[in-house]
């Protein structure tokens, strides 16, 4: 009885750990996205400061590619929107994962109690 | 232990605070460095276009330098972020740098704010620790409430003492009626645990009084019953009530009610006392709606019963009065009180039960024996007083009944009936005392007094008292002297 519970506990624990990892991944991705968001915001603002006389380059790999200012602005804006969308997506994902992990936690707690009880009984017997 | 726990918690809190503050500090340092860099960059950008070209040692890899020239000093490639570059003039670059500096400054300010908040938090936790460690100015105020006490305090008892089922038929009938009435009343009333507890207390008190009366001298079976019933209540044993029932039967008609209540258990308890009160009240107040002020008296055993005219029942009337006042003034079976006192375990108890309430004091029926000899003993009441009492009771009976009907107090009626039934038993009135009620108020109280076997003085006995007594006791023979006395009243 105790062993069965223990096994169940183990499996549940693993599942919960997996959940937690997903949560963490999602969390870190979101953080990265947030950093990019701020960066792109700065780029946008600085592009606004420039005028068309300046040439704008985009670094694609080892190559600096000349870009138009307007084009650059548009690109940056689009990128900003994309990043925002990604952040939203990650947020919902995170929430979902949190909920699931909570459920798992509860299951784990109950299993643990059972296990303790089962352990307690044999211990008492002993 | 709690303190220790608290301290550990506080420690942990301080630890966390410290960690956060450390992080904050690191970030702060980082951003300060960035700010400084930007400042120097700004400076450089300003000075760069001063010359057309600069002679510099250009680093070739990590290990070599090569002399070179820095040209186009005004053209600066600025990294805008996210792999975006812009060729700008030095001035434009400077503008960009200034813009960035603004951002950095903003970040620094935020960090400072966070630092400050956490510093305050740390201070508070330190204070908390100090508080928990020492008494300090902060004191944890606790008030331990004993629920029971609070609950029972001043609350009328609802439960009746557990009555043993009355043995006599009339008693049975009455009991049922009373019980039902009582039950209804009690249930209609505040039948709550607290009330039951209060009632139990009252009953106990009454029982004590009853015991005392028995001890001293009691021809009042009522009192006896009461005490016995009280004690029974305390024990909440129905078996004992059987004995009481006997006594009750003889003494009070309320007993059935009380017994009934007893049978009920808690509810019965309340009912009993109430019944008794009711009965007495009814007897006393014919015109008004019978209200029973039931109050358990916690009289110390100082009941002193004189057989004879000057019988004084010293049990705490006041307490009874108090209890009576406390108790609801609902018309309830007085059986309770009766029962309390009707714990008849010995023949002597019987006499204790038959107590006339005089002035709120149960007056033991006067016995023919000398008072001295009769003290602490219960004798049958063959004296005039007892006859008088009996007659009184009879009279009261009628009153009671009338009042009862008026009051529509089933319980009381039951009590009355019981009283009537009791009387017809031809029980000799052991209690020669007369219950005299000087005031209407005390009359109510006397319910309790009557019920407890306290031996009241044998003063005039009021009708109500008699009435109440009658239900309690079996119809007693009232001596002519007693009757005279009663008439005087």
pTM for the structure as a whole: 0.40
Whose tokens are 């340092």? That residue is B29
Residue B81 with chain A: CB contacts under 8 Å: 39-40, 42-43, 46
Residue in A40, A56, A76 closest to B85 by CB: A56
How large is the ipTM? 0.77
Q: How many CA atoms lie within 13 A of B273 on its CB side?
A: 48
A29 touching B, CB under 8 A? no
Residue A75 has pLDDT above 70, yes or no: yes
A46 touching B, CB under 8 A? yes
Distant-in-sequence, close-in-space partners of A116: CB < 8 Å, separation ≥ 6: none
Cβ distance A54 to B77 less than 8 Å, yes or no, reads: no
Q: How many CA atoms lie within 13 A of B121 on its CB side?
A: 18
Residue B82 with chain A: CB contacts under 8 Å: 36, 39-40, 43, 76, 79
Q: What is the CATH number of domain A1-119?
A: 1.10.287.370
Please list the helix, strand and coil fractions of chain A in percent, rounded to the nearest 5, in that order: 85, 10, 10
pLDDT of residue B433: 66
Q: At what angle do helices B410-422 and B169-188 cross, to 10 degrees?
A: 160
Residue A57 with chain B: CB contacts under 8 Å: 77, 84-87
In Å, how far is A86's CA from the nearest CA of chain B? Answer: 17
* Closest alpha carbon to B463 in B445, B481, B483: B483
Q: Give the number of A-B residue pairs with CB atoms closer than 8 Å.
A: 63
* Closest alpha carbon to A97 in A19, A29, A12: A19
pLDDT of residue B223: 41
Residue A59 with chain B: CB contacts under 8 Å: 83-85
pLDDT of residue B157: 62
A80 touching B, CB under 8 A? no
Q: How far apart are CA B54 and CA B89, in angstroms?
A: 17
A101 touching B, CB under 8 A? no
Q: How many residues does chain A have?
A: 126
Residue B105 with chain A: CB contacts under 8 Å: none
- Domain positions in chain A are 1-119
Q: Give all strands (DSSP E) within B253-408, no chain letters.
A: 342, 355-358, 361-364
Residue in A46, A54, A59 closest to B83 by CB: A59
Cβ distance A50 to B103 less than 8 Å, yes or no, reads: no
**What residues are paired with B56 via a beta bridge?**
B68
Residue A79 has pLDDT above 60, yes or no: yes
Q: How far apart are CA B365 and CA B455, in angstroms?
A: 8
pLDDT tens series, chain B, 489 aa:
555 555 677 778 778 888 888 888 899 999 999 999 999 999 999 998 899 999 999 999 999 999 999 998 888 888 888 888 888 889 888 988 998 999 899 999 998 998 888 888 888 877 777 776 665 565 667 777 766 655 555 666 666 666 655 555 554 555 445 544 444 444 444 557 888 888 898 989 998 888 888 877 655 444 444 444 444 444 444 443 333 434 444 444 444 444 433 434 334 333 443 444 444 443 443 433 444 555 555 555 555 555 555 544 444 444 455 555 555 444 444 444 444 455 677 877 777 777 665 566 666 666 666 655 545 544 444 444 444 444 444 444 444 444 444 444 434 444 444 434 444 444 455 666 666 656 554 444 444 444 444 444 444 444 444 444 444 444 566 688 888 888 876
- Which of B27, B74, B81 would best serve as a mutation to test chain A binding (most A beta carbons within 10 A)? B81
Residue B110 with chain A: CB contacts under 8 Å: none
């Amino acid at each position: 009885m105790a062993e069965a519970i223990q096994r169940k506990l183990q499996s549940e624990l693993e599942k919960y750990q997996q959940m937690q990892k997903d949560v963490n991944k999602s969390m870190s991705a979101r953080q990265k996205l947030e950093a990019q968001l701020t960066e792109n915001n700065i780029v946008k603002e600085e592009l606004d400061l420039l005028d068309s006389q300046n040439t704008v380059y985009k670094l694609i790999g080892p190559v600096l590619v000349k870009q138009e200012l307007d084009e650059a602005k548009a690109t940056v804006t689009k990128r900003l929107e994309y990043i925002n969308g990604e952040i939203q997506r990650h947020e919902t994902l995170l929430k979902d994962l949190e909920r699931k992990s909570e459920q798992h936690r509860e299951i784990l707690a109950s299993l643990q109690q059972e296990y303790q009880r089962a352990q307690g009984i044999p211990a008492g017997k002993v | 232990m709690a303190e220790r726990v608290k301290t550990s918690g506080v420690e942990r809190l301080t630890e966390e605070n410290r960690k956060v503050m450390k992080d904050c500090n690191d970030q702060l340092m980082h951003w300060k460095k960035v700010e400084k860099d930007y400042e120097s960059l700004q400076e450089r950008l300003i000075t760069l276009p001063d010359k057309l070209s600069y002679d510099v040692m250009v680093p070739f890899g990590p290990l070599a330098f090569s002399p070179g020239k820095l040209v186009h000093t005004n053209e600066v490639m600025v990294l805008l972020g996210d792999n975006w570059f812009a060729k700008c003039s030095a001035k434009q670059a400077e503008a960009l740098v200034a813009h960035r500096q603004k951002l950095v400054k903003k970040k620094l300010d935020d960090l400072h704010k966070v630092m400050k908040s956490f510093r305050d938090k740390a201070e508070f936790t330190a204070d908390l620790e100090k508080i928990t460690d020492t008494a300090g100015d902060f004191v944890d105020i606790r008030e331990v409430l004993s629920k029971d006490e609070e609950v029972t305090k001043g609350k009328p008892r609802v439960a009746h003492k557990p009555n043993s089922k009355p043995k006599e038929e009339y008693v049975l009938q009455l009991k049922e009626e009373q019980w039902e009435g009582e039950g209804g009343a009690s249930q209609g009333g505040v039948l709550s645990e607290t009330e039951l507890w209060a009632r139990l207390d009252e009953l106990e008190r009454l029982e004590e009084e009853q015991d005392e009366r028995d001890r001293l001298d009691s021809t009042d079976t009522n009192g006896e019953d009461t005490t016995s019933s009280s004690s029974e209540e305390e024990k909440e044993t129905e078996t004992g009530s059987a004995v009481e029932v006997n006594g009750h039967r003889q003494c009070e008609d309320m007993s059935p009610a009380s017994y009934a209540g007893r049978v009920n258990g808690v509810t019965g308890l309340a009912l009993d006392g109430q019944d008794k009160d009711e009965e007495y009240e009814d007897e006393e107040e014919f015109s008004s709606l019978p209200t029973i002020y039931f109050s358990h008296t916690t009289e110390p055993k100082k009941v002193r019963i004189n057989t004879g005219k000057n019988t004084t029942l010293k049990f705490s009337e006041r307490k009874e009065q108090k209890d009576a006042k406390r108790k609801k003034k609902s018309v309830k079976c007085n059986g309770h009180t009766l029962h309390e006192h009707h714990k008849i375990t010995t023949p002597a108890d019987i006499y204790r039960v038959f107590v006339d309430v005089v002035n709120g004091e149960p007056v033991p029926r006067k016995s023919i024996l000398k008072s001295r000899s009769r003290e602490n003993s219960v004798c049958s009441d063959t004296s005039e007083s007892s006859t008088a009492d009996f007659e009184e009771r009879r009279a009261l009976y009628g009153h009671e009944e009338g009042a009862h009907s008026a009051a529509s107090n089933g319980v009381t009626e039951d009590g009355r009936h019981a009283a009537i039934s009791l009387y017809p038993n031809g029980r000799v009135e052991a209690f020669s005392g007369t219950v005299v009620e000087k005031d209407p108020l005390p009359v109510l109280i006397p319910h309790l007094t009557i019920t407890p076997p306290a031996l009241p003085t044998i003063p005039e006995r009021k009708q109500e008292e008699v009435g109440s007594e009658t239900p309690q006791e079996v119809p007693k023979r009232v001596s002519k002297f007693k009757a005279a006395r009663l008439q005087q009243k």
